[in-house]
Chain A
Amino acid sequence: MAIMEVTNLKKTFGDLEVLKSITFDVQKNEVVAVIGPSGSGKSTMLRSLVHLEKIDDGTINIDGEYLVNKGAYASPSDLKKASTKMGMVFQHFNLFPHLTVKENLEMAPKLVKKVSAQELSRHSMELLEKVGMADKASAYPSNLSGGQKQRVAIARALMMQPDILLFDEPTSALDPELTGEVLSVMKELAKEQMTMIVVTHEMGFAREVANRVLFMDQGEILEAGTPEEVFDNPQFERTKAFLHRNLK
């Protein structure tokens, strides 16, 4: 069952056509990896899905609800409803520096979902446990390593119980020795059947964890398929060239 359907997404920045006509869908419980050269529009595409970028034309349907239908955005309340089905993890974590780890997790659900403090606290500790950060619950982000920050950011996104979790290069801002701890949390989520779209430069992760790989180039999805199809048997020269540069 498709939980997300994206059709003919178009986006320009001034004269620059960043997304030419993006069409893909995401099945429930699927992990989709998005790879491609810098500037190909991966972030813009991902950000469009959570309404951080406004698209010019196209359709985004999340689990039966339209975020945009043929270029026309849903009403603010419907937009919000569709958006709450998605969580996002950013390259630079974007944790709230003035809140402790636990407060980072609890602020949004407290304000948005009006859950009881007790229930919130139980839920946040459970998620911190899961990402291995329970012992840092009362620390401030400034005292955490990059890998720890990103694990907290993942837990914060999970607090909202999204149906789909989006990642924009979650390990690109990390020292190489810290990427492992973040990737293993993501693998854990994949094992638990979390639906995820992951923009990544980690080819190993894409091959091992993704059910499907999308290769983006110059604002288009040039090639899509299973990891085996895309990595071992790419159809296009541009895919081959990209893989050649990045698989070493």
Chain B
Amino acid sequence: MSLDYILTILKPMLQGSQMTLLLFIIAIVLSIPLGFLLTLAVNSSIKLLSLLAQAYIYIMRGTPLLLQLLIICFGLPMIPGIGQYLVLDRFTAACIGFILNYAAYFAEIFRGGLLAIDKGQYEAAQVLGLNKFQTTVRVILPQMFRIAIPSLANESVTLIKDTALLYAVAVPELLHFAETAVNRDFTIVPFFIAGIIYLIMTLILTLLFKWIERRFTFE
């Protein structure tokens, strides 16, 4: 096994990793705020909104992400009448699937964070004259976010690994190039390299979250 060989297959695999990373970044940047909005909806005093949000979260968490991706990529275009307008580019479709799915998980994480905040915090804010908006933004969110960081870190690592599901909807990503090389060259080395690339990505992510956690430790 030569170093040359590794270098040759590394190039397409790193290109594939770009797809992986791109999906990861788009998914995390959009699903965290969406998840937060869902949390607000669940806690809303408008009963219908709350029920809808809860149902959404239940469905998204209760069915496989793969199934959701398949429905968005291949199912939607089959809907009679409107299907022809729902044909999306595979990568776009996958991004939508990941965002919608992960938002539900992040919503649950944030909800847990909210539940952990003592009601005395709301009372102190009220007596000091803060309105609801000020209380949410200045008092509740920072604490909720702090409580949520470890779970957010966990979920983000899962997200990195879940990007491999792109393989199933035929978007060429890291795993796809690894498999192509395995079949062509009849060696499993590309799989190991893929594993190492995933490990490096999760390691960087974990370190990043550790740093964020330290920054937001109030001591």
Contact = CB atoms under 8 A, between A and B. Distances in A.
Partners in one complex: yes
Contacts of B120: 90, 92, 94
Nearest to A76: B131
A58 to B, nearest CB: 20
B218 to A, nearest CB: 4
B22 to A, nearest CB: 33
B146 A52 contact: no
A147 interface: no
B127 A50 contact: yes
Contacts, number: 60
Nearest to B126: A52
Interface string B4-30: 000000000000000000000000000
A94 B126 CA distance: 12
A16 interface: no
Given A98-B218, A142-B219, A143-B219, A84 B123 contact: no
Nearest to A140: B218
B143 A97 contact: yes
Contacts of A50: 127
Given A111-B134, A111-B138, A142-B218, A94 B129 contact: no
A97 B218 contact: yes
B67 to A, nearest CB: 40
- Between B124, B139, B218, the greatest number of chain A beta carbons within 10 A of the residue's beta carbon is seen for B124
A236 to B, nearest CB: 33
> Chain A, interface size: which category?
20 to 34
Interface in B124-146: 124-130, 134, 138-139, 142-143, 146
Contact of B143 (A98, A111, A156): A98
A111 B125 CA distance: 11
B121 interface: yes
B146 A98 contact: yes
B126 A108 contact: no
A61 interface: no
A89 to B, nearest CB: 9
B118 interface: yes
B123 A90 contact: yes
Interface in A12-64: 50-52
Nearest to B121: A94
Contact of B139 (A96, A157, A160): A96
Contacts of A70: none
A83 interface: yes
Interface of A: 50-52, 80, 83-84, 86-88, 90, 92, 94-99, 107-108, 111-112, 140-143, 156-157, 160
Closest 3 A/B residue pairs (Cβ): A108-B128, A94-B120, A94-B124
